[in-house]
Structure 1
Amino acid sequence: MANIPDARVRRFLEALDQVTGMEVVDCKEEVVSDNVGRVRLDFLVHVRLGDIGRDTVLGIEAKDSVYPRDAKKLVDTFAARAKYFAEADEVPVVVSTYLSDGAQKLLRDEEVNFFEVASGTLYYRHGLRHIDIRRESNEPAEERRIRSVFNGAREQVVHALLEHWRIEGDDAWLSGADLANLAETSPFTVSTTMKELERQSWVDMRGSGPTLRRRLSHPGLLLDAWADVWRQRLPREKRTRWYAYASGRGGIVDHMLERLANRNGWALTGAGAANAMAPHLTAVDRASIIVPPGVSKEWAAAMALEPAEKGANVTFVERTGASLMFGDTNPERPGSHFASRFVMYLDLLDGVGRNKELAAEFRRKALKLGEEIHG
């Protein structure tokens, strides 16, 4: 194999060789000139693939990590290059140590070949050849940093951004200061959170400096990323389970709303809340209630609830922060406090009973979003 200065590119060529019996004829870095500078690539590799008599030129961009925003820029670079060198028959390839799921999907959709070094995932399509080897890779530090967006004050920014989109739709442009006020956090927290969301291409931007405004462009993808973190957190939360005899017409939900009416810091969530918000989705005979940390036993005793690990119809979940933001009240139930629609949806992802089906229907009817999308 010819001298390849970049180890990532060498790994890619070795992987391609294993599948196609490729021979590297030549590798060079493209010379920068006034004419080609804007569409310059890292490497041009001339190869002969298997039984194909003529050489193929691989135009390669080598990166450490690629996320959707980076992938869009690379797609634009390859498109500009194809237009500039209209007669050239180059095969576009992105080689990266790590490629996020969203970046991989975007590159596939745009028919740009790629190789993820960390896992050996290889997508190569040119002429009659179609290679698609998918392998799971270990999560890099950058991906863990994205997950951190859904914790603490940054999670409040995410919640505020989604709620603002739900109310304003396509007109949901807002400044960093406005978002900080809405999220009840600092402009610095908003700035660091938005940088991660911009890197994922989940937000649109217009203006700059004091006139900079942002708008959520992919609410479904942001919600799905939040849901992934939420599911992992659910088993670690402090929950207590109780039983209450409720004979009234409104069942356990109205029974608990009456007893919680004069207390603060709580919100009805899960299936009971979702059914009250979008009636007739499914029958509900249990109530999940977000309560302040440390009050579960005291409140249960005051409401004459009985401990019940089995057969419970009331669950107290101790939480603070984003879970209690943007709550609502049902006009037909004076004094009621419901969690936001997004928290209701996330709490339906616990796998209990028919909650998965209810979550999908609630997502369509109450959040006006399509099915869950991964990547």
Structure 2
Amino acid sequence: MTERFEGERKTLDALTSALESLPHAHAEISKVEHPFNGMGRTIDAAIDLEIAGKEVVLLVEIKKAVYPRDVRQLLWQMRDLRNTYIHERKTQVVALVAADSISQGARALLQAEDVGFFDTGGSLFIPAKGAYLYIDRPVPKTFEKSVRTLFTGKRSQVLHALLIKQDEWLGVTGLSHIAEVSPATASETLTMLEKMEWVSARGQGPSKERRVSNAPGLLNEWKTQIQASRRQLPRRRYYVPGGDLSALAHRIAMHCEGERIEYALTQEAAAQRYAPFLSSYSRLAIRVPPVRGVEQMLADFDARPVTEGANVDILETKTQSEFLFKEKVDNLWLASPVQVYLDLLRGEGRARDMAEHIRKELLRI
């Protein structure tokens, strides 16, 4: 017995058990790898389901994981098989996709087309007349983790680059240079994004190119991941005496450039320069690497660590990704508009209102 067959059998058994656990229900597998009309077309299984006095045949297609792109490829096949079975058997038939995991986008597409689904996390949808069932459970943790990894580390740099260059067609090599990642990381990330239908593709082989086709969907998921983590940006808070925030920002910039310390203003201090929204703000948020020169700068400015009344937040940034695509405005380096938006989502007070303003007016996503 192959590993693939064992996995499919476990998914099929899990589906049958879930159906049997429903009130007044009985489910029995009637066919496995069932052919149609001798034309080489098969379904993975057929299940006879009795529920609430109704009889339904479930035509089951089994997959490991299902993404929106997979659904579009499956729909015509499932509809064709369902229609053939109805013609042969004269009974109520529901096409159903069963998998270890099914993305939220894939679920929505299946539901819109009246195709049932089941995943091993417990979600179940059967659009049968007189026996309509819908059980909505969270996406299984293993699948959730695979999506979450897109928005962290090197893969997030690929997403960042795609959003910054969203109107451009990019090959793997070009994208890897822009995002400062390996071609392998760029390729793996793009493959996943294609499955989620966040990017479109043209060409084949080495000449294949992609660009963002669903920027709102991609950015919405990034926002969801940030909000789900519930983690504030790690920061150290200081009060630096003397001067208004604009003057202080330029003093910090001059010091960093003189000492060759990379920096980027972010959150409100950057957003106000990109697209003014607030009448005033009370604190500079600045990303810097964890180098000794930063401590010397704070000492030179008589900065005092505080828990209240801070006017400078130091965001120690250990990776290069948050500095990608920074822009110089008014002789100050600002984190990229995408990074500022993401940082504002993890801010306080009216930061999230400002994030939506940046998204609408600057990112236009």
**1:241-260 correspondence runs (5 A):** 241-245=237-241, 247=243, 251-260=244-253
SS in 1 for 2:99: strand
Q: 1:69 — aligned with what?
A: 69
Between 289-298 and 220-229, the greater mean CA deviation after superposition: 220-229
Does residue 163 in structure 1 map to residue 164 in structure 2? yes
Displacement of 1:188 = 2.1
Instruction: Determine what percentage of the aligned residue pairs are the same residue.
Output: 30
Letter in 2 for 1:257: H
Q: 1:125 — aligned with what?
A: 127
Give a deviation string over 1:65-96, Cα, whole Å, max 9, x none: 22333333222322343566674652111122
Q: 1:372 — aligned with what?
A: none
Q: 2:324 — aligned with what?
A: 325
Give the conservation status (yes or no) of the 8 Å contact 1:296–1:316: no
Give a deviation string over 1:288-325, Cα, whole Å, max 9, x none: 10011134322212233222221111101111311001
Deviating beyond 6 angstroms after TM superposition, the runs of 4 or more aligned structure 1 residues are: none
Letter in 1 for 2:315: V
SS in 2 for 1:29: strand
Q: 2:3 — aligned with what?
A: none
Q: 1:365 — aligned with what?
A: 361
SS in 1 for 2:187: helix
Letter in 2 for 1:79: R
Q: 2:203 — aligned with what?
A: 207
1:285 to 261, 282, 285: 282
TM-score after normalising by structure 2? 0.85
Displacement of 1:126 = 1.7
Cα distance in 1 between the residues matched to 2:100 and 2:180: 38
Displacement of 1:326 = 0.6
Displacement of 1:8 = 2.7
Cα distance in 1 between the residues matched to 2:229 and 2:217: 19
Give a deviation string over 1:12-71, Cα, whole Å, max 9, x none: 234334435233466112444685435x2111223333223xx42211112232233333
Cα distance in 2 between the residues matched to 1:234 and 1:244: 29
Letter in 2 for 1:159: H
Letter in 2 for 1:306: R
Letter in 2 for 1:283: S
CA 29–36 in structure 1, closer or farther in 2 if over 3 Å, else same: farther
Give the conservation status (yes or no) of the 8 Å contact 1:45–1:57: yes
Displacement of 1:349 = 1.3
TM-score after normalising by structure 1? 0.83
Cα distance in 2 between the residues matched to 1:281 and 1:113: 48
CA 154–135 in structure 1, closer or farther in 2 if over 3 Å, else same: closer
Unmatched tracts of structure 2, length 5 or more = 1-7
Cα distance in 2 between the residues matched to 1:198 and 1:99: 15
SS in 1 for 2:276: coil
Cα distance in 1 between the residues matched to 2:84 and 2:52: 29
CA 26–212 in structure 1, closer or farther in 2 if over 3 Å, else same: closer
CA 77–246 in structure 1, closer or farther in 2 if over 3 Å, else same: farther
**1:212-251 correspondence runs (5 A):** 212-230=208-226, 235=231, 238-245=234-241, 247=243, 251=244
Q: 1:50 — aligned with what?
A: 52
Give a deviation string over 1:343-366, Cα, whole Å, max 9, x none: 001111124111122222222222
SS in 2 for 1:288: strand
Give the conservation status (yes or no) of the 8 Å contact 2:34–2:43: no
SS in 2 for 1:114: strand
**1:1-375 correspondence runs (5 A):** 6-19=9-22, 21-24=24-27, 27-32=30-35, 36-38=39-41, 40-52=42-54, 55-82=55-82, 87=87, 89-117=92-120, 119-136=121-138, 138-140=140-142, 142-165=143-166, 168=167, 172-230=168-226, 235=231, 238-245=234-241, 247=243, 251-262=244-255, 263=257, 264-281=261-278, 283-294=280-291, 295-319=293-317, 320-330=319-329, 333=330, 335-369=331-365
Give the conservation status (yes or no) of the 8 Å contact 1:272–1:285: no
Give a deviation string over 1:255-289, Cα, whole Å, max 9, x none: 21343135241001012211221113453221110
Q: Count how many residue pairs are aligned between Structure 1 and Structure 2.
A: 349
Letter in 2 for 1:207: G
Provide the aligned C-alpha RMSD in A.
2.7
Cα distance in 1 between the residues matched to 2:229 and 2:129: 46
Give a deviation string over 1:170-213, Cα, whole Å, max 9, x none: xx211112212211233222112222222322211111113211
Give a deviation string over 1:124-170, Cα, whole Å, max 9, x none: 22223332222235411x543433333333322221111101xx2xx
Q: Which has the higher strand share?
A: 2
Letter in 2 for 1:163: I
SS in 2 for 1:279: coil
Letter in 2 for 1:321: Q
Cα distance in 2 between the residues matched to 1:234 and 1:293: 24
Give the conservation status (yes or no) of the 8 Å contact 2:264–2:334: yes
Unmatched tracts of structure 1, length 5 or more = 370-375
SS in 2 for 1:261: helix
SS in 2 for 1:42: strand
